[in-house]
């Protein structure tokens, strides 16, 4: 396994971490009263757009997945539209799952949906960028020995960490601490964000430490 490829992965992941940090810092310089907690819904939108845009740009520049065949302009448009539909469907699916796990059904609909969009940006959007609208490829990557490259391993790790972060972020909500960050969905979205950032850092380090044991086979 080439060290250069791991360094490229680390650099790309660190850029994503840096972009998340900037979403909490830069808007405050131009918007009086902006804080992650105080204007949380606005931050959710800014973070989703920033992280999503950077992920798309990075995958267009780095092109970690070389399995896509050359296609016509019409095929590219079709694939892009499918990706948009899949992303929207993932937002709806996450929204439904979050409600089934106890989020308010009617109240705080906007908050729940924006949290679902953020979670989809950390998970489904990365899958769409790397694997395209190919559900079979998604299933393969998230199977035990499914990844065929370090980029797919990183995708697997960051996706799992994001979901676990959102899960653990829900634990403080029922507690009677009466803290501002316990308001729905602040702790969950912060948990997902920290989980995503942790996954971005852990992935290249884990791959580097286990590079001798990792043997990727093309499928």
Of the ranges 42-46, 76-80, 99-103, 211-215, which one carries the lowest mean pLDDT score? 211-215
Model confidence at 65: pLDDT above 70: no
Our count of domains for the chain comes to 1
Global confidence as pTM:
0.92
Q: Would you say residue 67 has pLDDT above 60?
A: no
- Supply the pLDDT for residue 69: 58
Q: Across all residues in the chain, what is the average pLDDT?
A: 90
pLDDT value of position 210: 86
Instruction: Please report whether residue 187 resides in a domain.
Output: yes
Lowest-pLDDT choice from 5-14, 28-37, 61-70, 119-128: 61-70
Q: Domain of residue 90: give its range.
A: 1-63+74-217
In a domain? residue 35:
yes
Give a yes or no: residue 69 inside a domain.
no
> In this structure, is residue 68 part of a structural domain?
no
Q: What is the dihedral of CA 112, 117, 121, 127, to 10 degrees?
A: 100
Answer whether residue 20 is part of any domain: yes
């Amino acid at each position: 396994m080439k060290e250069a490829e791991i360094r490229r992965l680390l650099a790309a992941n660190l850029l994503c971490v840096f972009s998340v940090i900037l979403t909490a810092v830069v808007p405050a310089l131009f918007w009086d009263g902006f804080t992650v907690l105080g204007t949380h819904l606005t931050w959710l939108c800014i973070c989703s757009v920033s992280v999503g845009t950077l992920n798309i740009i990075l995958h267009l520049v780095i092109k970690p997945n070389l399995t896509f065949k050359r296609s016509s302009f019409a095929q590219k448009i079709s694939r892009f539209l499918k990706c948009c539909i899949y992303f929207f469907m993932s937002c709806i699916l996450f929204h439904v799952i979050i409600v089934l796990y106890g989020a308010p059904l009617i109240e705080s609909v906007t908050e729940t949906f924006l949290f679902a969009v953020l979670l989809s940006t950390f998970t489904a959007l990365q899958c769409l960028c790397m694997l395209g609208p190919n559900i079979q490829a998604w299933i393969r990557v998230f199977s035990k020995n499914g990844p065929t490259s370090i980029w797919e391993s990183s995708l697997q790790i960051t996706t799992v960490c994001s979901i676990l972060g959102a899960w653990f972020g829900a634990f403080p909500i029922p507690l009677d601490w009466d803290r501002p960050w316990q308001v729905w969905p602040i702790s969950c979205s912060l948990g997902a964000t920290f989980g995503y950032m942790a996954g971005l850092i852990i992935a290249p380090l884990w791959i580097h430490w286990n590079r001798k044991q990792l043997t990727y086979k093309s499928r």
